[in-house]
Amino acid sequence: MSDESSKPGTTHFGFRDVPTGDKQKLVGEVFSSVAGNYDLMNDLMSLGIHRVWKRYFVATAQVRTGDRVLDLAGGTGDIAALLRERVGDSGELVLGDINASMLRVGRDRMTDRGQVRGFGYVQCNAETLPFPDNSFDLVTIAFGLRNVTDKDAALREMLRVLKVGGQARVLEFSEVKADWFRPIYDFHSFKVLPRLGKLFARDADSYQYLAESIRKHPPQDALKAMMEAAGFARCRYRNLNGGIVAIHDGYKA
């Protein structure tokens, strides 16, 4: 189920309906809270498999040495660090994130790794990107689209800033396909995860929201249709681990 099914003037914040204008602030509070424990959050949510997903996401992207890449919701820099190897010293990576705390964590991590050349950091809203048309060879967003209030606007913006022939890639938690696994997955998401969040990060509410936000995100075929409606060509998706996550691709014709 996606945000579009909410009542007029409202959107989903987890399982709650909230005024559309409030979601950005509420999501911002969640990610400001978890920024310092972001790796822990992803490990708890995915049992550590997120690192494999991210490597596969980058390894199969359409990107070459010297390309210019925008990584949205990329504040902590996990995807950008992997993309660095693909674009080389002649390429350029721009990390865009709406949350200043997340962006600060990413910048500090890159500095600690000695990765400072070829990186740019921009605090921006995915719904209104501050870049000219046809600016990037690749636009990625990993585990961030479900937190965007107006996903359709974000997809249109991703298309706008892509160069002709460029690729957009979305890595996101999606709809589990195996009926037998859904009860196990739900138990982990709604019973185990918030308790782990409380135990390790002293923040059960943020982890509860993150689990709920996955269930409200458009499932695979719905997101593919949204990308097509935004104007992307050759849209497709690939499920990983039975649909726990999916990678969606689209191209600018």
Query: Is 61 a known ligand-binding residue?
Result: no
Q: At what angle do helices 151-161 and 220-230 cross, to 10 degrees?
A: 50
Tokens of 121: 């950091």
Tokens of 35: 């920024």
Q: Which amino acid is at 242?
A: G
Query: Is 76 a known ligand-binding residue?
Result: yes
Query: Is 125 a known ligand-binding residue?
Result: yes
Tokens of 54: 């991210």
| CA–CA dist 59, 68 (Å, integer) | 16
| CA–CA dist 13, 19 (Å, integer) | 9
Tokens of 207: 């982890």
Sign of the dihedral defined by the CA atoms of residues 192, 171, 2, 152, in that order = positive
Burial zone of 114 (CB within 10 Å; 0-12 exposed, 13-18 middle, 19+ buried): exposed
| CA–CA dist 229, 232 (Å, integer) | 7
Residue 72 parent element (H or E): strand 68-72
31 — phi, psi (to 5°)? -75, -25
Residues placed in the known binding site: 76, 97, 125-126
Residues placed in the known binding site for S-adenosyl-L-methionine: 76, 97, 125-126
